[in-house]
Amino acid sequence: MKKTIVVNLLLNTVGAFLYTVAINGFLISNHLGEGGVTGLMTIFYYWLKIAPSVTNIVLNGLLLLIGWKLLNKQTVFYTLYTITMISVFLKLIGSMRFPLHDPLVAALIGGALMGVAMGFIMKGEGTLAGSTILARIVNKFFGIKTGSAMLCFDLMVAIPSAVIIGFENMLLTIVELYLSAVILNKLLAQFVEKRSLTIISERFKELASALSDATKQGVTIIDGHGYVSGQKKQLLYCVCDTKDLVKLMNLITEIDPKAFVVMEEVRSTYGKDLLRIL
Protein backbone atom coordinates (compact mmCIF):
# COMPACT_ATOMS: atom_id res chain seq x y z
CA MET A 1 0.00 0.00 0.00
CA LYS A 2 2.76 2.45 0.96
CA LYS A 3 4.70 1.48 -2.17
CA THR A 4 1.65 2.24 -4.33
CA ILE A 5 1.26 5.69 -2.73
CA VAL A 6 4.94 6.50 -3.28
CA VAL A 7 4.79 5.37 -6.94
CA ASN A 8 1.61 7.40 -7.54
CA LEU A 9 3.10 10.50 -5.95
CA LEU A 10 6.22 10.08 -8.11
CA LEU A 11 4.11 9.71 -11.27
CA ASN A 12 2.08 12.79 -10.36
CA THR A 13 5.25 14.78 -9.64
CA VAL A 14 6.80 13.89 -13.00
CA GLY A 15 3.51 14.65 -14.74
CA ALA A 16 3.21 18.02 -12.99
CA PHE A 17 6.77 18.94 -14.03
CA LEU A 18 6.23 18.00 -17.69
CA TYR A 19 2.93 19.87 -17.67
CA THR A 20 4.64 22.99 -16.34
CA VAL A 21 7.39 22.75 -18.97
CA ALA A 22 4.72 22.54 -21.68
CA ILE A 23 2.86 25.59 -20.30
CA ASN A 24 5.85 27.82 -19.56
CA GLY A 25 8.30 26.59 -22.14
CA PHE A 26 6.18 26.21 -25.23
CA LEU A 27 2.65 27.61 -24.89
CA ILE A 28 3.13 30.91 -23.03
CA SER A 29 6.53 31.43 -24.70
CA ASN A 30 4.87 31.36 -28.11
CA HIS A 31 1.63 33.14 -27.17
CA LEU A 32 -0.48 30.01 -27.55
CA GLY A 33 -3.57 29.16 -25.54
CA GLU A 34 -4.93 26.03 -23.95
CA GLY A 35 -8.26 24.60 -22.88
CA GLY A 36 -10.10 24.41 -19.59
CA VAL A 37 -8.58 26.01 -16.52
CA THR A 38 -5.13 26.03 -18.13
CA GLY A 39 -6.58 28.02 -21.02
CA LEU A 40 -8.07 30.51 -18.58
CA MET A 41 -4.71 30.61 -16.82
CA THR A 42 -2.92 31.64 -20.03
CA ILE A 43 -5.65 34.15 -20.96
CA PHE A 44 -5.49 35.83 -17.55
CA TYR A 45 -1.70 35.97 -17.88
CA TYR A 46 -1.80 37.57 -21.36
CA TRP A 47 -4.67 39.93 -20.51
CA LEU A 48 -4.29 40.84 -16.83
CA LYS A 49 -0.75 39.61 -16.08
CA ILE A 50 -2.04 37.41 -13.24
CA ALA A 51 0.57 34.81 -12.26
CA PRO A 52 -0.38 31.37 -13.66
CA SER A 53 0.46 29.73 -10.33
CA VAL A 54 -2.27 31.80 -8.62
CA THR A 55 -4.94 31.12 -11.27
CA ASN A 56 -4.09 27.42 -11.21
CA ILE A 57 -4.54 26.93 -7.47
CA VAL A 58 -7.65 29.12 -7.13
CA LEU A 59 -9.73 27.85 -10.08
CA ASN A 60 -8.72 24.21 -9.69
CA GLY A 61 -9.42 24.40 -5.97
CA LEU A 62 -12.98 25.47 -6.75
CA LEU A 63 -13.43 22.63 -9.24
CA LEU A 64 -12.15 20.15 -6.68
CA LEU A 65 -15.14 21.03 -4.55
CA ILE A 66 -17.36 19.89 -7.45
CA GLY A 67 -15.44 16.64 -7.78
CA TRP A 68 -15.36 15.97 -4.05
CA LYS A 69 -18.61 13.98 -3.94
CA LEU A 70 -18.40 12.54 -7.46
CA LEU A 71 -14.81 11.24 -7.42
CA ASN A 72 -13.26 8.90 -4.88
CA LYS A 73 -11.31 10.57 -2.11
CA GLN A 74 -8.03 8.97 -3.22
CA THR A 75 -8.32 10.68 -6.63
CA VAL A 76 -9.12 13.99 -4.94
CA PHE A 77 -6.04 13.64 -2.71
CA TYR A 78 -3.71 12.98 -5.66
CA THR A 79 -5.32 15.79 -7.63
CA LEU A 80 -4.79 18.26 -4.80
CA TYR A 81 -1.16 17.17 -4.61
CA THR A 82 -0.72 17.53 -8.39
CA ILE A 83 -2.21 21.02 -8.73
CA THR A 84 -0.11 22.13 -5.76
CA MET A 85 3.03 20.78 -7.43
CA ILE A 86 2.09 22.50 -10.70
CA SER A 87 1.82 25.84 -8.88
CA VAL A 88 5.17 25.19 -7.18
CA PHE A 89 6.85 24.34 -10.50
CA LEU A 90 5.24 27.38 -12.16
CA LYS A 91 6.98 29.49 -9.51
CA LEU A 92 10.31 27.66 -9.64
CA ILE A 93 10.70 27.54 -13.43
CA GLY A 94 8.58 30.55 -14.29
CA SER A 95 11.42 32.02 -16.35
CA MET A 96 11.79 28.93 -18.54
CA ARG A 97 11.02 30.01 -22.11
CA PHE A 98 11.55 28.36 -25.50
CA PRO A 99 10.40 30.92 -28.08
CA LEU A 100 10.41 29.32 -31.53
CA HIS A 101 10.33 30.83 -35.00
CA ASP A 102 7.55 28.46 -36.07
CA PRO A 103 4.58 28.47 -33.65
CA LEU A 104 3.33 25.21 -35.19
CA VAL A 105 6.40 23.43 -33.80
CA ALA A 106 5.66 24.92 -30.39
CA ALA A 107 2.04 23.70 -30.62
CA LEU A 108 3.15 20.17 -31.56
CA ILE A 109 5.81 19.90 -28.85
CA GLY A 110 3.54 21.50 -26.25
CA GLY A 111 0.66 19.17 -27.16
CA ALA A 112 2.88 16.10 -27.01
CA LEU A 113 4.26 17.11 -23.60
CA MET A 114 0.77 17.85 -22.29
CA GLY A 115 -0.51 14.43 -23.41
CA VAL A 116 2.43 12.60 -21.83
CA ALA A 117 2.10 14.66 -18.63
CA MET A 118 -1.61 13.86 -18.30
CA GLY A 119 -0.86 10.19 -18.97
CA PHE A 120 1.63 10.11 -16.07
CA ILE A 121 -0.82 11.90 -13.78
CA MET A 122 -3.78 9.64 -14.60
CA LYS A 123 -1.59 6.55 -14.31
CA GLY A 124 -0.81 7.87 -10.82
CA GLU A 125 -4.59 7.97 -10.10
CA GLY A 126 -4.70 11.76 -10.12
CA THR A 127 -6.14 14.42 -12.38
CA LEU A 128 -5.24 17.97 -13.37
CA ALA A 129 -8.55 19.17 -11.91
CA GLY A 130 -10.15 21.64 -14.35
CA SER A 131 -11.55 19.93 -17.43
CA THR A 132 -9.86 16.69 -16.31
CA ILE A 133 -12.27 16.42 -13.38
CA LEU A 134 -15.23 17.11 -15.67
CA ALA A 135 -13.89 14.54 -18.16
CA ARG A 136 -13.44 11.94 -15.40
CA ILE A 137 -17.04 12.53 -14.28
CA VAL A 138 -18.34 12.13 -17.85
CA ASN A 139 -16.17 9.02 -18.25
CA LYS A 140 -17.48 7.55 -15.00
CA PHE A 141 -21.16 8.02 -15.83
CA PHE A 142 -21.25 7.85 -19.65
CA GLY A 143 -18.16 5.81 -20.60
CA ILE A 144 -16.79 8.47 -23.00
CA LYS A 145 -13.01 8.29 -23.40
CA THR A 146 -11.28 10.65 -20.99
CA GLY A 147 -9.10 12.30 -23.65
CA SER A 148 -12.07 12.87 -25.97
CA ALA A 149 -14.23 14.36 -23.20
CA MET A 150 -11.37 16.66 -22.18
CA LEU A 151 -11.01 17.86 -25.77
CA CYS A 152 -14.67 18.89 -25.88
CA PHE A 153 -14.45 20.85 -22.62
CA ASP A 154 -11.13 22.41 -23.60
CA LEU A 155 -12.49 23.68 -26.92
CA MET A 156 -15.13 25.66 -25.02
CA VAL A 157 -12.29 27.82 -23.68
CA ALA A 158 -9.82 27.57 -26.57
CA ILE A 159 -12.12 28.87 -29.32
CA PRO A 160 -13.18 32.12 -27.56
CA SER A 161 -9.49 32.72 -26.68
CA ALA A 162 -9.04 33.98 -30.27
CA VAL A 163 -10.09 37.40 -28.94
CA ILE A 164 -6.88 37.51 -26.85
CA ILE A 165 -4.33 35.43 -28.75
CA GLY A 166 -5.54 35.93 -32.31
CA PHE A 167 -7.28 33.63 -34.80
CA GLU A 168 -4.13 31.92 -36.09
CA ASN A 169 -2.82 31.09 -32.62
CA MET A 170 -6.28 29.86 -31.64
CA LEU A 171 -6.16 27.39 -34.55
CA LEU A 172 -2.71 26.25 -33.44
CA THR A 173 -4.09 25.84 -29.91
CA ILE A 174 -6.77 23.50 -31.28
CA VAL A 175 -4.02 21.48 -33.00
CA GLU A 176 -2.16 21.28 -29.69
CA LEU A 177 -5.31 20.20 -27.82
CA TYR A 178 -6.12 17.53 -30.39
CA LEU A 179 -2.59 16.11 -30.27
CA SER A 180 -2.56 16.01 -26.46
CA ALA A 181 -5.97 14.23 -26.45
CA VAL A 182 -4.78 11.62 -28.97
CA ILE A 183 -1.58 10.95 -27.01
CA LEU A 184 -3.51 10.74 -23.73
CA ASN A 185 -5.99 8.22 -25.16
CA LYS A 186 -3.11 6.15 -26.58
CA LEU A 187 -1.23 6.15 -23.29
CA LEU A 188 -4.30 5.21 -21.25
CA ALA A 189 -5.04 2.44 -23.75
CA GLN A 190 -1.49 1.11 -23.29
CA PHE A 191 -1.91 1.14 -19.52
CA VAL A 192 -5.04 -1.05 -19.69
CA GLU A 193 -4.72 -2.69 -23.10
CA LYS A 194 -6.07 -6.23 -23.04
CA ARG A 195 -7.14 -9.02 -25.37
CA SER A 196 -9.92 -11.55 -25.01
CA LEU A 197 -9.55 -15.14 -26.17
CA THR A 198 -12.39 -17.51 -27.05
CA ILE A 199 -11.11 -21.06 -27.48
CA ILE A 200 -12.83 -24.22 -28.74
CA SER A 201 -10.91 -27.37 -27.84
CA GLU A 202 -11.51 -31.00 -26.91
CA ARG A 203 -8.88 -30.52 -24.20
CA PHE A 204 -10.68 -27.59 -22.63
CA LYS A 205 -10.10 -28.66 -19.01
CA GLU A 206 -6.36 -28.92 -19.46
CA LEU A 207 -6.30 -25.60 -21.32
CA ALA A 208 -8.44 -23.88 -18.68
CA SER A 209 -6.08 -24.97 -15.92
CA ALA A 210 -2.96 -23.87 -17.85
CA LEU A 211 -4.43 -20.49 -18.85
CA SER A 212 -5.62 -19.78 -15.32
CA ASP A 213 -2.15 -20.54 -13.94
CA ALA A 214 -0.48 -18.39 -16.61
CA THR A 215 -2.75 -15.35 -16.23
CA LYS A 216 -3.36 -15.64 -12.47
CA GLN A 217 -7.06 -15.05 -13.03
CA GLY A 218 -10.21 -16.96 -13.84
CA VAL A 219 -11.18 -18.66 -17.10
CA THR A 220 -14.85 -19.10 -18.00
CA ILE A 221 -16.16 -22.36 -19.50
CA ILE A 222 -19.22 -21.88 -21.72
CA ASP A 223 -21.43 -24.80 -22.83
CA GLY A 224 -22.43 -24.80 -26.49
CA HIS A 225 -23.02 -27.06 -29.45
CA GLY A 226 -22.03 -27.09 -33.10
CA TYR A 227 -24.82 -26.06 -35.47
CA VAL A 228 -23.68 -28.31 -38.30
CA SER A 229 -22.35 -31.28 -36.32
CA GLY A 230 -24.88 -31.02 -33.50
CA GLN A 231 -22.14 -32.04 -31.06
CA LYS A 232 -21.73 -30.46 -27.65
CA LYS A 233 -18.82 -28.06 -27.37
CA GLN A 234 -17.12 -26.29 -24.48
CA LEU A 235 -15.77 -22.79 -25.10
CA LEU A 236 -13.14 -21.14 -22.96
CA TYR A 237 -13.20 -17.37 -22.48
CA CYS A 238 -10.46 -15.36 -20.82
CA VAL A 239 -9.04 -11.82 -20.78
CA CYS A 240 -5.29 -11.24 -20.76
CA ASP A 241 -2.74 -8.44 -20.99
CA THR A 242 -1.49 -7.81 -24.52
CA LYS A 243 2.09 -8.45 -23.42
CA ASP A 244 1.10 -12.02 -22.41
CA LEU A 245 -0.63 -12.84 -25.68
CA VAL A 246 2.30 -14.57 -27.44
CA LYS A 247 3.04 -16.67 -24.36
CA LEU A 248 -0.59 -17.79 -24.10
CA MET A 249 -0.87 -18.60 -27.82
CA ASN A 250 2.27 -20.74 -27.57
CA LEU A 251 0.77 -22.46 -24.52
CA ILE A 252 -2.48 -23.21 -26.36
CA THR A 253 -0.60 -24.58 -29.40
CA GLU A 254 1.55 -26.77 -27.16
CA ILE A 255 -1.46 -28.32 -25.39
CA ASP A 256 -3.81 -28.58 -28.39
CA PRO A 257 -2.48 -27.68 -31.85
CA LYS A 258 -5.99 -28.20 -33.26
CA ALA A 259 -7.64 -25.65 -30.92
CA PHE A 260 -9.76 -22.99 -32.61
CA VAL A 261 -8.94 -19.55 -31.16
CA VAL A 262 -10.71 -16.22 -31.67
CA MET A 263 -8.79 -13.17 -30.42
CA GLU A 264 -10.39 -9.74 -29.95
CA GLU A 265 -9.26 -6.34 -28.72
CA VAL A 266 -10.77 -5.17 -25.42
CA ARG A 267 -11.23 -1.40 -25.11
CA SER A 268 -11.90 -1.44 -21.38
CA THR A 269 -12.54 -3.74 -18.46
CA TYR A 270 -14.40 -3.09 -15.24
CA GLY A 271 -14.75 -5.23 -12.15
CA LYS A 272 -12.76 -6.84 -9.36
CA ASP A 273 -9.01 -6.79 -10.02
CA LEU A 274 -9.58 -5.18 -13.41
CA LEU A 275 -8.73 -1.67 -14.54
CA ARG A 276 -10.97 1.31 -15.08
CA ILE A 277 -12.82 2.30 -18.21
CA LEU A 278 -10.85 4.66 -20.43
- Between 193 and 256, where is the model more confident? 256
- Between 277 and 131, where is the model more confident? 131
- Per-residue confidence (pLDDT) for residue 270, from 0 to 100: 56
Task: Give the residue from 82, 192, 70 showing the smallest Cα distance to 138.
Answer: 70
- What ranges make up the beta strands (E) of the chain? 194-200, 220-225, 232-241, 260-266
Residue 93 CB coordination number (10 Å): 15
HSE-up of 107 (CA within 13 Å, CB side)?
20
Phi–psi pair at 265, nearest 5 degrees: -75, 145
Task: Give the residue from 167, 159, 49, 172 showing the smallest Cα distance to 110.
Answer: 172
- Per-residue confidence (pLDDT) for residue 89, from 0 to 100: 92
pLDDT tens, residue by residue, 6-46? 999 999 999 999 999 999 889 988 989 888 878 888 888 88
Confidence of residue 137 (pLDDT cuts 50, 70, 90): confident
Cα 186 to Cα 118: distance, rounded to the nearest angstrom: 11
What one-character-per-residue DSSP string does 104-121 give? Answer: HHHHHHHHHHHHHHHHHH
% of the chain with per-residue pLDDT over 90 = 23
Average pLDDT value for residue range 256-272 = 76
Whether 163 has a pLDDT exceeding 60, the answer reads yes
Provide the residue type at 53 as one letter: S
Cα 121 to Cα 19: distance, rounded to the nearest angstrom: 10
Residue 92 CB coordination number (10 Å): 13
Contact of 183 with 122, CB cutoff 8 Å: no
- Between 253 and 276, where is the model more confident? 253
* Cα Rg of the chain, angstroms: 23
- The domain locations on the chain are 2-191, 193-266
- Per-residue confidence (pLDDT) for residue 14, from 0 to 100: 95
Count of positions (residues) in the chain: 278
Q: Which fold would CATH assign to domain 193-266?
A: Alpha-Beta Plaits (3.30.70)
- Per-residue confidence (pLDDT) for residue 273, from 0 to 100: 45
Strands 220-225 and 260-266: unpaired
User: Torsion-angle region of residue 114: left (phi > 0), alpha (psi -120 to 50) or beta?
Assistant: alpha
Taking all residues of the chain, what is their mean pLDDT, rounded to a whole number?
A: 84
pLDDT tens, residue by residue, 209-259? 999 888 888 898 998 888 887 888 889 998 888 778 888 899 999 999 989
Whether 267 has a pLDDT exceeding 80, the answer reads no
Indicate if the alpha-carbon torsion angle 58, 117, 168, 28 is positive or negative.
positive
